[in-house]
Amino acid sequence: MQTSPALARIAPSQTTAMTDRATQLREQGVDVISLSVGEPDFATPPHVIAAAKAALDAGETRYTAVGGTSRLKHAAALHFARDLGIEVPVNQITVSAGGKQAIFHALLATISEGDDVIVPAPWWVSYPEIVRFAGGTVVPLPTTASHGYLFTGPQLEALIGPNTRWLLLNSPGNPTGAWYPPEMLRSIGDVLRRHPQVMVLSDDIYAPLIYTGKSHVTLATECPDLADRILTISGVSKSHAMTGFRIGLAAGPEWLIKAMEKLQSHSSGNPCSISQAAAVAALEGPQEFLAEWRDRFRARRDQVVSGINVIPGLSAPTPDGAFYCMVDAQALMPRFGDDAALALHLLDHGVAVVPASAFGGSAGFRISFAADDEKLAEAVRRIAKAVA
Ligand SMILES: Cc1ncc(COP(=O)(O)O)c(C=O)c1O
């Protein structure tokens, strides 16, 4: 028996593989600090937990509308307007089992064989795999640490062709923490206006986590005339420490939202009813704690970046957002061969990280600094010892 050609085109998630490996080692009694996983270590806020319990007690245990309850769609509309500046009616919003599923459905619903999808690299691990699964061709748009892992309008335009269907834009970004300021978004918009065949998936799932002191900006508000070509992804997983609830939000043109819901009606159906009630509480409830969490993440970022930058052979630029930092280990490659070997070596020394090559990068690794201060300090000590 054989799996499908579509499945053969994709590889399993390397971030999940590294996290699973670290968990296995821990279960065997090995002391491993996992900096491979992309989720906040903070507890889910109590009012969110209370809403989930109340939904269970109220018997909200049935199917809901495929694209989410009307209550959650209204809460999502509030979120898109309040937090991202995107005024969008509820018929242009859908809810899925995590941001990942929203992206999966959007790309699967729109990509045909032979379509090109421009993906800035280093990229979030799932982007290229979803594109390939859908039958598209990944067109990497390389970015470098020296330019803040940001691409420019001209670099984008050089890659656009008649078959370009999508640009995947992630700001703040995983794995680099890169964040696009308004003027860069506007210059990307100038390019897109010349190429009406290109849609943009703007993945803003890390929007509350920006450390520059500036407010988040997004393509749909910087270039409102392009709004009918932009799908904005958001959610509660990263912002509200709700990764296990599996709720993702998407706002975009109605035809695309309908297409995603059509697909969802035959894949998972509605997102979990209890999680939807919890997400309403997250989006409509207090938001003040987010600023405190962001400040704690900023302090951890500074701790990790300064710790890494004094280790001979390693360097890390300071990321503007999200909770990841990309470490450049080029100088260590003659010794280790490649970054996968280096990541395994670090695992042997009790720290799980993900090699840059898993993200379409090279000669480095990603650290998630969503771990407590003591663990981070110990992890940096172990990394220093491992490469000494
Ligand atoms: C850039 C990016 N987009 C989307 C997601 C999906 O988030 P979730 O499906 O957990 O809501 C992630 C999670 O790691 C991410 O890093």
- Residue 155: band (very low, low, confident or very high) from pLDDT cuts 50, 70, 90: very high
- Residue 358: band (very low, low, confident or very high) from pLDDT cuts 50, 70, 90: very high
**Arithmetic mean of pLDDT, 318-334:** 96
Kindly give the distance from the C-alpha atom of residue 29 to the centroid of ligand 1, in angstroms, as a whole number: 30
Percentage, residues of the chain above pLDDT 90: 89
Which residue among 237, 354, 368 has the greatest number of ligand 1 atoms within 8 angstroms of its CB, and so is best to mutate? Answer: 237
Kindly give the distance from the C-alpha atom of residue 263 to the centroid of ligand 1, in angstroms, as a whole number: 19
Q: Is the pLDDT of residue 109 over 90?
A: yes
**pLDDT value at position 63?**
98
**pLDDT value at position 45?**
97
Q: CB–CB of 86/235 below 8 Å?
A: no
Q: What is the pTM of this model?
A: 0.96
Kindly give the distance from the C-alpha atom of residue 99 to the centroid of ligand 1, in angstroms, as a whole number: 5
Which residue among 44, 101, 205 has the greatest number of ligand 1 atoms within 8 angstroms of its CB, and so is best to mutate? Answer: 205
List, in order, residues 6 or more apart from 296 with CB less than 8 Å away: none
**pLDDT value at position 137?**
97
Using CB distances shorter than 6 Å, the residues near ligand 1 are: 38, 98-100, 124, 170, 174, 203, 205, 235, 237, 243, 248
Which residue has the least CA distance to atom 7 on ligand 1? 99
Q: Of residues 13 and 53, which shows the higher confidence score? A: 53
> What digits encode the pLDDT tens for the residues 366-384?
999 999 899 999 999 999 9
Kindly give the distance from the C-alpha atom of residue 365 to the centroid of ligand 1, in angstroms, as a whole number: 19
12-16, 43-47, 178-182, 253-257: range with lowest mean pLDDT: 12-16
**pLDDT value at position 2?**
87
SS3 at position 49: helix
> From edge to edge, which strands make up the β-sheet containing 354-355?
324-328, 364-368, 354-355
**pLDDT value at position 21?**
80
> What digits encode the pLDDT tens for the residues 53-72?
999 999 999 999 999 999 99
- Residue 25: band (very low, low, confident or very high) from pLDDT cuts 50, 70, 90: confident
Q: Is the pLDDT of residue 250 over 80?
A: yes
Which residue among 14, 101, 124 has the greatest number of ligand 1 atoms within 8 angstroms of its CB, and so is best to mutate? Answer: 124
Q: Of residues 37 and 228, which shows the higher confidence score? A: 228
Kindly give the distance from the C-alpha atom of residue 386 to the centroid of ligand 1, in angstroms, as a whole number: 30
Q: Where are the alpha helices (DSSP H) in the chain?
A: 5-8, 14-27, 46-57, 70-84, 99-110, 126-133, 153-159, 182-193, 219-222, 254-266, 273-284, 289-309, 333-336, 339-348, 373-387
**pLDDT value at position 30?**
85
Kindly give the distance from the C-alpha atom of residue 207 to the centroid of ligand 1, in angstroms, as a whole number: 12
Which residue among 14, 96, 100, 324 has the greatest number of ligand 1 atoms within 8 angstroms of its CB, and so is best to mutate? Answer: 100
**Arithmetic mean of pLDDT, 1-24:** 83
**What's phi and psi for 235, nearest 5 deg?**
170, -170
**pLDDT value at position 85?**
97
Q: CB–CB of 20/347 below 8 Å?
A: no
Which ligand 1 atom lies nearest to the CA of residue 100? Answer: 9
**pLDDT value at position 226?**
98
321 DSSP 8-state letter = B
Q: Is the pLDDT of residue 158 over 90?
A: yes
Kindly give the distance from the C-alpha atom of residue 315 to the centroid of ligand 1, in angstroms, as a whole number: 26
How far is residue 241 CA from its own chain's centroid? 14
SS3 at position 315: strand
Mean of the per-residue pLDDT values of the chain: 95
Q: Is the pLDDT of residue 152 over 90?
A: yes
Q: Is the pLDDT of residue 208 over 90?
A: yes
